[in-house]
Amino acid sequence: MQMPMAFSVLWLLQLFLLTEKVIGTNFARGEEQLEALLATETQLIDELRDYIERLELQLEEIRRETSAIEEIHSQVVDVEKYMGNPLNVLGILKRFDSVWPKLEQQANETLLINSEQASSDKDLILPSEEDYEESLNQLLHLQSVYELDSNSLSLGMVNGLKLGSAMSWGDCLEVARKSDFSVARFWLESALEKLPAASENSTEAQRERESGRVHILEAALNIEYRAGELSRALATAEELLLLLPMNQNIQKAKRKIEKAMAKKELPKGRHTKSKTKKTKSAEQMLIEELCRGATQKSTTGSRFSHCKLEGNTPWLLLQPSRLEPLSSDPYIVLHHDVLSPKEIAQLLELIDEEEDDTNGVRSYEPLKLSKMGQKKLKRINYRLGLKTGDLDPWTGRRHGHGHSTKLEDSSQLGNVARVMLNLQPPGMGGAVVFPQLELGVNVPRGSLLHWHTRSAGGSSFSSSEWDYRSGQAVCPVLLGVQLSAWTGLQ
């Protein structure tokens, strides 16, 4: 009995030792795994902390950009007046072109926002890239017509008036890329001046200054080379190589410029292909000169006006006309205060956009006057001493800074006279100019411009020829919007 008991004890002891050995082995393996998990968790905590820091930086940048946009947006009191400023239009389109996409990307990365789902909840009106390009071209057209200074425009100044917020160096660079060399070089200079000053010692400002200078010089190199300014382009390439000495593209561009300069002087009989620059006609240059002159004065015309009292109709007896003669041959006269502010406000409510299905290029946006508006304008006949029905139906026009200056030929209309009634003058620009007479007229609100289009040489106006001196153009609007009504006398 003792032997089996001893055997059992020994067997239990062996089993206990074996079990303890296995448990110790498993415990050792579990401890190593736990240590590995702790190390993994430590790494995850560090990575999460870094992510939180990056997240805070992104949120701070989004907050800063949003505050800047909100500050500009809060200045909009009158939407029509604000959008009548070409600088403001370019600014908001620029934000939709670059700032908002960047903020959307940051928000998507930060908050994991599904942009497609967010945009499907609300029907948002967003500008296209063509809208931004068109706005740039419109600003350049206004700058060309009115000879506006690039540096003043970049500060939001037009003819000494503060009209908009200042541009960034990136904005100036975008305008320069769309300009001819004669204008682009001034925008490039403005872009360089708007880079962060060297006195700003922050890392971010230094990085922006270095990167911006490279972008501006690269654009200058391309613009100068395309314009045939090879010596300027070579100097710009050498300046770029000082900043990026190992850049192969710049080295290749420098060799290409040097090769072009070597071949510039060719023997006689050989010709090089060159781009012919489109020049303005003498008439167009005269129109632009008249437009610039008209922006400096509230009214350009005669130096005097007089009241005309006629008793042939009760209307003229009770309400004398205040006339301003501008030209006797051809006959051009400005009728002041034809409509009261209340009458103008009523007419503006009776104007709608017209569906223009014609293929002709117009320098204005056509507007349609309702039947009630046509009826209200019939009283103009009495002002001009005409009978009811002598004037054609009135048509509305909207001139903005997006329209080009085009000389209008009234010879095909068959009118003996034309009439323009200004319902809403712009803040600047929009004068009616007669290039053959070197005359420019800013028609005040509620006033009417009346001119003959036929010479008075024949027995009657209807049998006489069209007077080419009556050809007129409307200057582009520099600020605001001009709404007017036009008609003709058959």
Q: What is the pLDDT of residues 97-107, one digit of tens each?
A: 777 777 777 67
- Rounded CA-CA distance 187/153 in Å is 9
Identify the pLDDT of residue 189: 93
Whether the predicted pLDDT of 163 surpasses 90:
no
DSSP 233: H
Cα 364 off chain centre by:
18
pLDDT digit string (tens) for 384-398?
A: 777 666 788 999 999
Averaged pLDDT, 194-217: 87
- For residue 28, the model assigns a pLDDT of 55
What's the pLDDT at 464?
72
Mean residue pLDDT across the chain: 78
Q: CA 379 to CA 487: how far, in whole Å?
A: 13
* E strand or H helix at 157: strand 157-158
Alpha helices in 377-424 (DSSP H): 380-383
The three-point CA angle 236-240-245 to 5° equals: 140
> In this model, does residue 9 exceed pLDDT 50?
no
pLDDT digits (tens, 9 = 90+) for 11-25: 555 555 555 555 555
Bigger pLDDT: 141 vs 455 = 141
Name the band, by pLDDT with cuts 50, 70 and 90, for residue 450.
Answer: very high
Residue 1 has pLDDT above 50, yes or no: no
The DSSP line for 171-231 is HHHHHHHTS-HHHHHHHHHHHHHTSPPTT---HHHHHHHHHHHHHHHHHHHHHHHHTT-HH
Name the DSSP letter for residue 392. Answer: P
DSSP three-state, residue 447: coil
Instruction: Choose among 375, 374, 377, 386: nearest CA to 316.
Output: 386
Give the pLDDT score at 173. 92
DSSP 3-state percent helix, strand, coil across the chain (nearest 5): 50, 15, 35
Per-residue pLDDT averaged across 361-373, rounded?
84
pLDDT at residue 294 in the model:
86
Confidence category of residue 355, pLDDT binned at 50, 70, 90: low
Name the helix (H) or strand (E) containing 321: strand 321-328
- The whole-number pLDDT of residue 436 equals 92
Q: What is the pLDDT of residues 258-277, one digit of tens each?
A: 988 888 754 444 444 444 45
pLDDT surpassing 90 at residue 89: no
Res 389: pLDDT: 66
Give the residue among 312, 484, 300 at the shortest CA–CA distance from 408: 484
* 40-62 pLDDT, tens digit each: 778 888 888 888 888 788 788 77
| Phi, psi angles (nearest 5°) of residue 324 | -130, 100
- Which pLDDT value is given to residue 277? 54
Bigger pLDDT: 25 or 445? 445
Structure confidence at residue 318 as a pLDDT band (50, 70, 90): low
Percentage of residues in the chain having pLDDT higher than 70: 77
Give residue 122's pLDDT band: very low, low, confident or very high (50, 70, 90).
low
> Once rounded to an integer, what is the mean pLDDT over residues 102-125?
58
The residue among 433 and 33 whose pLDDT is bigger is: 433
Residue 233: per-residue pLDDT? 92
The domains found in the chain, sorted by start residue, are 126-262 (1.25.40.10), 282-489 (2.60.120.620)
Nearest one of 435, 413, 224, 441 to 324, comparing CA atoms: 441
> Tell me, what's the pLDDT at 216?
94
Report the distance separating Cα 297 and Cα 178, nearest Å: 31
